[in-house]
Structure 1
Amino acid sequence: MVNQQLDFLLPAPEEKPQILHQAMRYSVFAGGKRLRPVLLLATAEALEKASAPFLPFACALELIHTYSLIHDDLPAMDDDDLRRGLPTCHKKFGEAQAILAGDALLTYAFNLMIMCRGKGISPDRLLWAIDEVAFGAGLKGMIVGQVADMSAENKAISLDELKYIHRHKTGALFRVSVRAGGILSGADDDQLRHLTSYAENMGLAFQITDDILDVVGDEKKLGKPVGSDEKKQKATYPALLGLEESKALAREAVEQAIRFLDPFGPGAEPLRQVATSLIDRES
């Protein structure tokens, strides 16, 4: 559903300026798991709401995630040549086009969110959800997380400092995906608190397993070289805690995430499965 909607919503590759639209589509369709839009749609289902009206909003989250990857891969930041087994956007299209493709994806995402207007969502709820996205993707979320991550390179940092980095850089968009799904679906305050705690623990588990895979993962399945975090002297959970303690922390976070879904019925099963799948993920 998400892939079909993304294909429909993104400009055609032959539409002028072709190089921009080709760069956008190249990165969006490079094999992502669509985890963030899936989380939004699954949250709607947990609240017994039809998820189809929220598809443009869900796709907006994927565009924001993709923009962040394009910019994260740039030489001025992580300087990566491969993403999901393919040349990164700047390697394929050049740095200038990669920057512009990322900018275009980020700004177009807000157009997609507005497309949900008039689809049975109250204007106040829609505005609230959009504000959450702007907060989580911006100055108080992903951006500050990226700055903190780069600042921590080649430094010894504490566990609290590491959690701060990833709560913002990685966790913020997971949190937003679940909260936006709850807000658009009319979740009450108690439901939203439980969903937020689920998302925060799920985001923690995702980042820990991501760090673990960079140490022990299969390069073919990851689509990028392993050991890049150590080479760049990145702050990671295995570097700080060791592999076994990192794995235990990830399992604990998954268990916590699932417990926070106790107030929800069978409709929350996809959210439970997403959390459980993180323990054994290979990419």
Structure 2
Amino acid sequence: MNSQLLAAFEARWVPRINTYLDENLRDCSDRDILTAAIRYSVLAGGKRLRPLLTLAVLTTFDQPVTAAHLRASVAVELMHTYSLIHDDLPAMDNDQLRRGEPTSHVKFGEDVAILAGDALQPLSFQWIADSGLAPSVIAQQTLALAQATGPTGMVAGQVADVKNTGHQLDLPALQQLHREKTGALIHYAVQAGTIQAPVPAPVAAALLKFADAFGLAFQIYDDILDVTSTPEQLGKATHKDAGEQKNTYPELLGLDGARAALTTAVTAAQTALREASALSQRNFDLLASFLTYFTN
């Protein structure tokens, strides 16, 4: 049932998110090659998981999604795409494929790919700032995004990732790496919804516990897929992490141990939603449906 709930929510919102991105990136730069590079990566597909999480929080709390809410919610996809472009670069993971297509630096050259990422990062803040939401909401959401993606968030996690390649981290250090590199932007996506709705502080705290457990599960699941899937299934190279001596959950815990850690993270997310429900007397089936991502 939950998977059907998620599928219906995706069918409603993913086309709207994609249309919004398409229409609002047509004239995002006065440099044609920069516009082309930005659009190539942003419009290449993807689950749109992060804006969907924000919109799911708004839906759960009966907040109508106005044009302002949509703009501020979709902005996270620009930041996410910037991180993917830079993560694929030769100096980082040196990936040739992303979502089944050549990566940005393969298509446009390393220089333009870097600059496309550089442009997308401030553009995400611009979309929040000029969304038309209340100034206090804009300020809170801008701060949250900066904290999630800056030197104590996503970038810190990326540094830990590249600088510990070939050096086996223990479990707490690996969890911290992924809380920053992957989890921080997922945490922000839920937080953006709690800011926009707005959600009472105790309930928001429980939802952020859900977000953190979901982010951990997301990374563990991605690590498992790297071991068990084919490039055709994932749309990107597989089995790279072990070959490059990257720190992953299967590498540290074994495949069975990684699967057990995934189950633990999903259980923690479910527990957090039960806590949020008890505090708010609301139904969180929609957010719970996102956990079927790890079973389908």
Normalised-by-shorter TM-score class: over 0.9
**Paired position in structure 1 for 2:269:** 257
How far the C-alpha of 1:116 sits from its partner, in A, is: 2.5
Matched, 1:275 2:287: no
Unmatched 5+ stretches in structure 1: none
Q: CA deviation at 1:137?
A: 0.8
Pairwise CA RMSD: 1.5
Instruction: Tell me the CA shift for residue 80 of structure 1.
Output: 0.8
- Retained in 2: the 8 A contact 1:41–1:58? yes
Shift of 1:150: 0.6
The corresponding residue for 1:141 is 153
- 2: CA distance, partners of 1:123 / 1:16: 29
Q: Find the counterpart in structure 2 of residue 3 from structure 1.
A: 18
The match for 2:70 is 55
Q: Deviations over 1:90-135 (max 9, x none)?
A: 0000011001100111111111001332x4xx32222111100011
Q: How many Å apart are 1:266 and its aligned residue?
A: 6.3
The aligned amino acid for 1:185 is A
The answer (yes or no) to whether the contact 1:251–1:279 under 8 Å persists in 2 is no
1:239 aligns with 2:254: no
Residue 54 of structure 1 and its aligned partner are, at CA, apart by 1.5
Task: List per-residue Cα deviations over 1:198-230 (Å, max 9, x = no partner).
Answer: 000000000000000000013212011210101
Which of the pair is proportionally richer in helix?
2
- 8 Å CA contact 1:47, 1:267 repeated in 2: no
SS in 2 for 1:170: helix
Match of 2:141 among 129, 137, 159: 129
Q: Is 1:192 matched with 2:207? A: no
CA distance in 2, matches of 1:177, 1:237: 24
Contact 2:95 / 2:237 at 8 angstroms: preserved in 1? Answer: no
Match among 166, 170, 180 for residue 182 of structure 2: 170
In terms of mean alpha carbon deviation, does 145-154 or 252-261 score higher?
252-261
TM-score (norm 1): 0.93
Q: Which residue of 2 aligns with 1:83?
A: 98
Shift of 1:46: 1.8
2: CA distance, partners of 1:156 / 1:20: 39
Aligned residue for 1:112, secondary structure, equals helix
1:49 Cα deviation after fit: 1.1
Provide the C-alpha distance between the structure 1 equivalents of 2:229 and 2:148, rounded to a whole number of angstroms.
29
Between the aligned partners of 2:237 and 2:55, the Cα distance in structure 1 is: 32
Q: Unaligned stretches of 5+ in structure 2? A: 1-15
Equivalent residue runs for 1:212-227 within 5 Å? 212-227=224-239
Q: Does 1:179 align with 2:195?
A: no
- Mapped to 2, the partners of 1:56 and 1:192 lie a distance apart of 21
Letter paired with 1:105: L
Give the % identical residues.
43
Q: How big is the shift at 1:5?
A: 1.0
TM-score calculated relative to the size of structure 2? 0.89
The answer to whether the aligner puts 1:92 opposite 2:104 as a matched pair is: no
Aligned length: 276
Alpha-carbon separation, structure 2, partners of 1:71 and 1:277? 25
- Give 1:278 shift: 2.0
Secondary structure of the residue aligned to 2:273 is coil
How much has 1:151 moved relative to structure 2?
1.1
Q: In structure 2, the residue corresponding to 1:260 is in which secondary structure?
A: helix
Give the deviation of 1:248 after TM superposition. 1.4
Name which of 116, 127, 130 aligns with 1:115. 130
Distance in 2 between the 1:105 and 1:192 partners? 28
Q: CA deviation at 1:267?
A: 5.2
